[in-house]
Amino acid sequence: MKDLTTGKESRVIFQFALPMLLGNVFQQFYNIVDSIIVGNFIGKEALAAVGASFPIIFTLISLIIGIASGTTIVIAQYFGAKDIISVKKAINTLYVFLFFAAIFTTIVGILISEHLFRLLQLPAEILPQAKSYLNVFLLGTLAFFGYSGTSAILRGLGDSKTPLYFLIISTIFNIGFDLLFVLVFKWGIVGVAVATIISQGGAFVTAILYLNRYHKIIQFSFRELKFDKEIFRQSFRIGLPTGFQHTFVALGMMALIGIVNTYGTDVIAAYSVAGRIDSIAALPAMNFSAALATFVGQNLGANKPGRVRNGFKATLLMSSSVSVAVTIMVILFGNFLMSLFSPDPEVIRIGREYLVIVSAFYLVLSALFTTHGVLRGAGDTLIPMFITLVSLWLVRIPLSWYLSQRMGETGIWWAIPIGWFLGMFVS
């Protein structure tokens, strides 16, 4: 646990953000390794199938994750106010909510998966593999929610290091199981999904066993879990706007993949790979924003608004500096990064084009994330929600369709930074 209400703002935010960043890099490493193995040992059709599945996965879990984020903010505020009893009630309430949400998500997702793929005009040669991957992946939703919820709780308590340790172990096992199931057992794309389920489940179980033995506040026990309606109502009020934001963003991603799907397997595979690299590149800005949100939550709970202002300025400077460095690296090594995932020259060419266009504007994205981090930490989640939805649904999606009619798939790539610019300007 870490108290973020004392010490130099830039230092405590950086120290809190760094383990989260490393943790999320390893979390993304799941997807990176999956895609590298799929692209090199199964084929570009399977690579496209995995890429087409993620917007649907994001859509199915986005509302739940958004609502859960409200509990994380409540935990941070209670912890900043030193109200440990309420902290424990909030933790138990989150676990109960995530358990039932995971069961619901799994059942609904498996029932509608094929219909969603057909709605998104996924090419016929990709659909069977995409459906198989998605349905198996969804069987691990309970493990995913459990581990993600535990990590979020620890971050709300100021502990961003412990989740990292479990995630590193989980990632190593994921790589091993990927190689075993795909190269040795020849399970194909299903083997990749099974490896992810086992690894995430192992991380969740290991984390619970460790916390029950060593943590002062978190003591996980099914028999002692109690649902507090008042705390959930408070968490729901804060988290619902973020949940709606995530949901509409996810639906937007589905709309975009629907546009991408009309260009065939090569473009879908390239978009999948470039999106993976793009996600890694955006992690510094996202994690500085998440660290700032917890920092703001604790300092407002401790009635220290001056530290919030200083923290915002420090985070903006740090995040912007890292974003410039990341842009340079992505532009210089774009071809090499794409070639790690697929030997197909057309997939590499299209993905490189995406990376050059989008990465030039990471500085804009970092400013947008930093501003939203302050607002979310203060519990004011409506403004980021509206800004994100407007920039996505009124700018990026219509522009993607319009520009793609005149520039091909390149127009889809240009619509991304234009949406970021609008969001940053309004923020």
The string of pLDDT tens digits covering residues 170-205 is 888 888 999 999 999 999 999 999 998 998 898 888
Listed in sequence order, the residues at least 6 apart from 326 whose beta carbon sits closer than 8 Å to its beta carbon are: 281, 284, 359, 362
Token pair recorded at residue 28: 């993304």
Count CA atoms within 13 Å of residue 272 on its CB side: 31
Higher-confidence residue of 210 and 118: namely 118
Are 281 and 369 a contacting pair, CB within 8 Å? Answer: no
CA neighbor of 57 nearest in space, from 143, 146, 118, 137: 137
Q: What is the rounded average pLDDT of the residues 150-171?
A: 79
Q: What is the pLDDT of residue 397?
A: 95
Q: Which pLDDT score is estimated for 169? A: 81
Across residues 209-214, what is the average pLDDT? 80
> What is the spatial distance between Cα 295 and Cα 76, in angstroms, rounded to a whole number?
8
Per-chain mean pLDDT for the chain = 89
Count of C-beta atoms within a 10 Å radius of residue 325? 11
The answer to whether the CB of 69 falls within 8 A of the CB of 242 is yes
Distance CA 290, CA 416 (A): 22
The helices-and-strands tally (H runs, E runs) of the chain is 15, 0
Residue 79 has pLDDT above 90, yes or no: no
The C-alpha angle 62, 197, 37, rounded to 5 degrees, equals 100
Residue closest to 368 by CA, chosen among 402, 416, 308, 298? 416
CA dihedral 366, 327, 407, 59 (to 10 degrees): -50
What is d(CA 66, CA 242) in angstroms, rounded to the nearest whole number?
5
Q: Which residue has the higher pLDDT, 133 or 87?
A: 133
Q: Is the pLDDT of residue 248 over 90?
A: no
- The per-residue pLDDT for 324 is 93
Residue 241 banded pLDDT, cuts 50, 70, 90: confident
Q: What is the pLDDT of residues 275-317, one digit of tens each?
A: 888 888 888 999 999 899 989 988 888 889 899 999 999 999 9
Band of the pLDDT at 353, cuts 50, 70, 90? very high
Q: pLDDT tens digits, residue range 20-66?
A: 788 777 777 767 887 889 999 998 899 999 889 989 998 999 889 88
Model pLDDT, residue 1: 57
- The closest alpha carbon to 239, from 163, 305, 308, 152, belongs to 152
> What percentage of the chain exceeds 90 in pLDDT?
52
- Is residue 307 within 8 Å of residue 358, measured between CB atoms? no
> What local confidence, expressed as pLDDT, does residue 100 receive?
95
**pLDDT at residue 357 above 90?**
yes
- Reported as a single tens digit per residue, the pLDDT across 392-422 is 899 999 999 999 999 999 999 999 999 999 9
Which runs of E-coded beta strand occur in 197-239?
A: none
Q: Which of 156-170, 283-297, 363-377 has the weakest average pLDDT?
A: 156-170
Per-residue confidence (pLDDT) for residue 259, from 0 to 100: 95
In Å, what is the CA distance from 17 to each residue of 9, 211, 245, 359? 12, 21, 23, 22
| Confidence category of residue 134, pLDDT binned at 50, 70, 90 | very high
pTM (2 d.p.): 0.80
Number of Cβ atoms within 10 Å of the Cβ of 222 = 8
Helix (H, G, I), strand (E, B) or coil at 82: coil
pLDDT category at 123 given cuts 50, 70, 90 is very high
Instruction: Tell me how far the alpha carbon of residue 400 is from its chain's centroid.
Output: 22
